[in-house]
Amino acid sequence: MPIIDVRPVVSGSGAWPEGIAQVLADAIAQVLSAGVARVWVRLAEIREDAYAENGTTVAGDQLPVFLEVLHAEWPDEQTRTVEAAALAQAVSLCLGRPVDRIHIEYAPPGRGRVAFGGRLQR
């Protein structure tokens, strides 16, 4: 663990290079100083027509990327602050989106509520 859901908003013409999920997983693992096979990335696109910001239209190069980060244990605020900035920078570089358009949400801790292979993580 951790599990990172990466959901970029994409225009109809947007296509990611093959292997981008692996690129993201490797970059995120580096930010988190995680060992091999310890970071899991799930990449799912949000179509541009399924996203809106009130009162404005978002240009294609300003479409956001949403991340949800699930750790086994809740990192303290200082750790989250540093980690969020580094994750935003890494994802920005991987996907070519402005760092200020990378939005991160921390999920509640996974320990005691996530099961791998049917085994609850304690």
**DSSP reduced 3-state for 60:** helix
Tokens of 82: 């540093």
Check whether 108 has a pLDDT greater than 90: yes
Phi first, then psi: what are they for 115, rounded to 5°? -120, 130
Residue 31 pLDDT: 98
Range list of H helices, the chain: 20-32, 77-95
The CATH number of 3-120 is 3.30.429.10
Cβ atoms of residues 91 and 27 within 8 Å: yes
- Over residues 17-25, the mean pLDDT reads 95
- Band the pLDDT of 14: cuts 50, 70, 90: low
Residue 59 pLDDT: 87
pTM reported for the whole predicted model: 0.93
- Band the pLDDT of 9: cuts 50, 70, 90: very high
Residue 1 pLDDT: 77
C-alpha–C-alpha distance, residues 59 and 87, integer Å: 23
Residue found under tokens 């690129």: 23
Q: What are the angstrom distances between the C-alpha of 76 and each of 52, 101, 107?
A: 32, 24, 13
